[in-house]
Amino acid sequence: MITLDDVTLTFPDGSSRVTAVDRVSLTGKAGVLTGITGPSGSGKSSLLAIAATLIRPDSGRVIVGDVDASTLSKDDATTLRREQIGIVFQQSNLLPSLTAREQLAVMAELGGRNARRRRRQVRSRTDELLDAVGLADHADKRPAQLSGGQRQRVAIARALVHEPEVLLVDEPTSALDQERGAAIMELIAHLTHERETATLLVTHDLVHEHLLDTLVTVVDGRIVSRTVGSDAIMDDDLAHRLTEV
Amino acid sequence: MFVAWRDLRFARGRFVLIGAVVALITLLVGFLAGLTGGLASQNVSGILELPGDRVVLQHPSSGQASFSESSISSDSVQKWRDASGVTHVLPVGIVQGKAGVHGTTTAVALFGMPHGAATSTVTDLAPRADDEIGLSAGAAKALGDATAGDTVSILGSKYRVSSVGGDAWYSHTPVIALTPDAWARADKSMGGDGSVTMLAVSGTPDWGAVATASGTVAQVPLLSLSALDAFKSEIGSLGLMIVMLFGISALVVGAFFTVWTMQRSGDVAVLKALGATTRSLRRDALGQALVVLIIGIGLGMLVVVALGTLAGGALPFLLSPLTTVAPAAAMAVLGLLGAAVALRTVTKSDPLTALGSNR
């Protein structure tokens, strides 16, 4: 599970500061696919960066599992990402020199303690995960030999190979056509439910809304609505701002 | 080293290019070091091979001590012999002249030394009788492969070759050993006074005090070589070239790896975002540089050894750990230092850039 509790993030903007995330509270539960949507510049990617421990918020807490990530040092945050968080980037961000199988194996080669044990665990899961994302026959291919959809599948497998508690996905379909995008979204939803990961997925494309278990809409750094299943819970004040946008 | 090895395999052409440049620089440094060593050996091996803790030369009234000007009186020699702590004094006369045999004439260094001194390549050449000489290998070769029993003419006197020994040189001329008396005669025939040029002194005396009292200077053999003018200028120029090549190699290797690491900064950011420690990324980058350096330097040195072996007969080329292992190790260290500069890119790479990056 991941909990963002009253999180605020600001960036310097000339002599003043601009608020990217404004007192956001959000919980991603195990086995639940939570979509985060909103217009460009609304702060959804900043929210994901905070959840990924890549940025420390100005205030509020980020709880991953039972760890308060907002108080961790840089090194401890790195360890947390390595052990409990899986990230799927907007682009696949695969390493060009590695084959699909090695893209997963690299997760056991990131330094830190217990490298031997992690190597053993990753090795045992690699083929199963490549099979789960439909790439068992492409394990020895490098990124340049794979299509965009296949690359994103490898990225999803890489994000899951260390069995993270939390999966963070940033616009996974932005570089794909409709058909491939739908397949990727279905795969993420399936793996979230099957592997019981708490998944936060940033998207501005609501074509695949039906695959999300929960959807939060962010505008100007604040959550303006939450949809659980088919029930929308709208903040009246902010709904007005949403319609303006 | 997981990603480093695979990068090496994937970008083979790029690393072959870097390795080839490293190999070429190593070839230049190694060949220059071998030539410098060879020239140095032909300049000073006769001095360095003498047994002794210090080389003693005459203290000149002005300027620095010099082998060519030094002339030590018998009084000074006796003062060194009588000094407390001195265990052995070997007086050596050195003068350059010409020697001839069967119509072949060559420039040689005449060393006057008593027979029976502590054994060394040079002292072993010293003959027993005044009408005998000992030839170093270089002198024998220069005199048409002269052998024991041959007669050699030096400054109008005939000498019988008593032995041919190892290689010993002085100021680019091969050494011929004479008895002290024969040497004194030869020196006088060239305008000298027959006094010895230097002393090779062993023991633990108060070096400074004895030197002052005897009007001499005492230096460890290596430092005394600065009293050889030809050696000083030659080694100065060649040494400067080697140092500059080392500097260039550090710069080139550093530049290669800086560019390479900058190109990889996107990958580094992704790895950091996935949880890679900066330490593991630094190890990866340095390990990669080390592999390229070892292969490049190894190949370069192989060529140096091969060329050095081939050229040994025609050029003054010295193949020794000092001219092969030492420059290779220095190249590796400087190359790694250059590559270490590139680590700044790894350290500073922001994992946040992996989010939303378009790669």
| DSSP-derived secondary structure for A120-168 | HHHHHHHHHHHHHTT-GGGTT--GGGS-HHHHHHHHHHHHHTT--SEEE
Contact A93 B7 (CB under 8 A): no
Strand order in the sheet with A2-13: A16-28, A2-13, A59-64, A67-68
Total number of domains in chain B: 2
Check CB contact of B2 with chain A, cutoff 8 Å.
Answer: yes
Sheet strands (E) in B116-213: 132-135, 151-154, 157-164, 169-170, 173-178, 198-203
Asked if the structure places residue A105 within a domain, the reply is: no
Residue B52 in contact with residue B200, Cβ under 8 Å? yes
Residues B324, B190 share a domain? no
Residues 6+ apart with CB under 8 A from A54: B273, B351, B352, B355
Residue A103 has a pLDDT of: 94
Q: How many CB pairs under 8 A join A and B?
A: 95
Residues B249, B204 share a domain? no
Residues B197, B62 share a domain? yes
Q: Which of B285, B254, B303, B255 is nearest to B348 (CA)?
A: B285
Residue A67 in contact with residue A236, Cβ under 8 Å? no
Give the residue-averaged pLDDT of B43-65. 89
Contact B356 A170 (CB under 8 A): yes
Nearest CA in chain A to B12: A97
Confidence of residue A238 (pLDDT cuts 50, 70, 90): very low
Q: Which of residues 30-69 of A touch B (CB under 8 A)?
A: 45, 48-49, 52, 54-55
- Provide the 3-class DSSP secondary structure of residue B13: helix
Give the residue-averaged pLDDT of B63-72. 89
Instruction: Give the C-alpha separation, B266 to B261, whole Å.
Output: 9
Residue A215 in contact with residue A35, Cβ under 8 Å? yes
Check CB contact of A105 with chain B, cutoff 8 Å.
Answer: yes
Instruction: Give the C-alpha separation, B289 to B340, whole Å.
Output: 9
Residues B256, B112 share a domain? no
Give the residue-averaged pLDDT of A87-106. 91
Asked if the structure places residue A219 within a domain, the reply is: yes
Please, what is the average pLDDT of chain A? Answer: 87
Contact B274 A107 (CB under 8 A): yes
Q: Which of A45, A105, A106 sits opposite B356 (nearest CB)?
A: A45
Give the residue-averaged pLDDT of B221-228. 86
Q: Find the domain containing A86 and state its range.
A: 2-93+164-244
Residues B207, B75 share a domain? yes
Q: What percent of chain A has pLDDT over 70?
A: 93
Asked if the structure places residue B48 within a domain, the reply is: no
Q: Which of A54, A91, A111 sits opposite B359 (nearest CB)?
A: A91
Interface test with A, best of B15, B263, B270 (most A CBs within 10 A): B270
- Provide the 3-class DSSP secondary structure of residue A43: coil
Q: Which residues pair with B54 in a beta bridge?
A: B201
Confidence of residue A17 (pLDDT cuts 50, 70, 90): confident
Give the residue-averaged pLDDT of B45-53. 90
* Chain A residues with CB-CB distance to B273 below 8 A: 52, 54, 81, 87, 89
Distance from CA of A230 to the nearest CA of B (A): 30
Residues B153, B39 share a domain? no
State pLDDT tens for residues B161-200. 999 999 999 998 999 999 999 999 999 998 889 999 999 9
Confidence of residue B151 (pLDDT cuts 50, 70, 90): very high
Instruction: Give the C-alpha separation, B261 to B127, whole Å.
Output: 66
Asked if the structure places residue A121 within a domain, the reply is: no
Q: Which residue has the higher pLDDT, A113 or A186?
A: A186
Q: Which residue has the higher pLDDT, A211 or B229?
A: A211
Residue A234 has a pLDDT of: 52
Residues B110, B175 share a domain? yes
Instruction: Give the C-alpha separation, A50 to A62, whole Å.
Output: 8
* Chain A residues with CB-CB distance to B9 below 8 A: 97
Asked if the structure places residue B224 within a domain, the reply is: no
Asked if the structure places residue A130 within a domain, the reply is: no
Residues B86, B10 share a domain? no
Is residue B62 over pLDDT 90? no
Distance from CA of A237 to the nearest CA of B (A): 31
Instruction: Give the C-alpha separation, B317 to B307, whole Å.
Output: 10
Does ipTM top 0.90? Answer: no
CA distances (Å), origin A55, targets A45, A50, A118: 11, 5, 26
Asked if the structure places residue B33 within a domain, the reply is: yes
Residue B44 has a pLDDT of: 87
Residues B316, B265 share a domain? yes
Question: Tokens at residue A177, please?
Answer: 């056509």
Total number of domains in chain A: 1
Interface test with A, best of B271, B274, B282, B348 (most A CBs within 10 A): B274
- Provide the 3-class DSSP secondary structure of residue B170: strand
Q: Which of residues 115-144 of A touch B (CB under 8 A)?
A: 142
Residues B102, B68 share a domain? yes
Check CB contact of A111 with chain B, cutoff 8 Å.
Answer: yes
Asked if the structure places residue A32 within a domain, the reply is: yes
Residue A235 has a pLDDT of: 53
Question: Tokens at residue B269, please?
Answer: 């950011």
Is residue A148 over pLDDT 50? yes
Q: What percent of chain B has pLDDT over 70?
A: 98
Contact B281 A87 (CB under 8 A): no
Sheet strands (E) in chain B: 54-58, 86-101, 104-112, 132-135, 151-154, 157-164, 169-170, 173-178, 198-203, 216-219
Confidence of residue B351 (pLDDT cuts 50, 70, 90): confident
Confidence of residue A134 (pLDDT cuts 50, 70, 90): confident
Residue B356 has a pLDDT of: 62
Q: Which of A79, A85, A93 sits opposite B270 (nearest CB)?
A: A93
State pLDDT tens for residues A186-231. 889 998 999 899 999 998 878 888 889 999 999 998 988 888 765 5
Asked if the structure places residue B226 within a domain, the reply is: no
Give the residue-averaged pLDDT of B231-243. 84
State pLDDT tens for residues B282-292. 898 889 889 99
Contact A107 B7 (CB under 8 A): no
Virtual CA dihedral for B77, B82, B86, B89, nearest 10 degrees?
Answer: 30
Instruction: Give the C-alpha separation, B308 to B319, whole Å.
Output: 7
Residues B212, B87 share a domain? yes
Distance from CA of B9 to the nearest CA of A (A): 8
Interface test with B, best of A47, A75, A97 (most B CBs within 10 A): A97
Contact A91 B270 (CB under 8 A): no
Contact B281 A111 (CB under 8 A): yes
Q: Find the domain containing B19 and state its range.
A: 2-43+232-355
Is residue A239 over pLDDT 70? no
Residues B321, B179 share a domain? no
Question: Tokens at residue A132, please?
Answer: 């789960």
Pairing mode of beta strands B216-219, B169-170:
unpaired
Is residue A233 over pLDDT 60? no
Check CB contact of B13 with chain A, cutoff 8 Å.
Answer: no
Asked if the structure places residue A125 within a domain, the reply is: no
CATH number for A14: 3.40.50.300
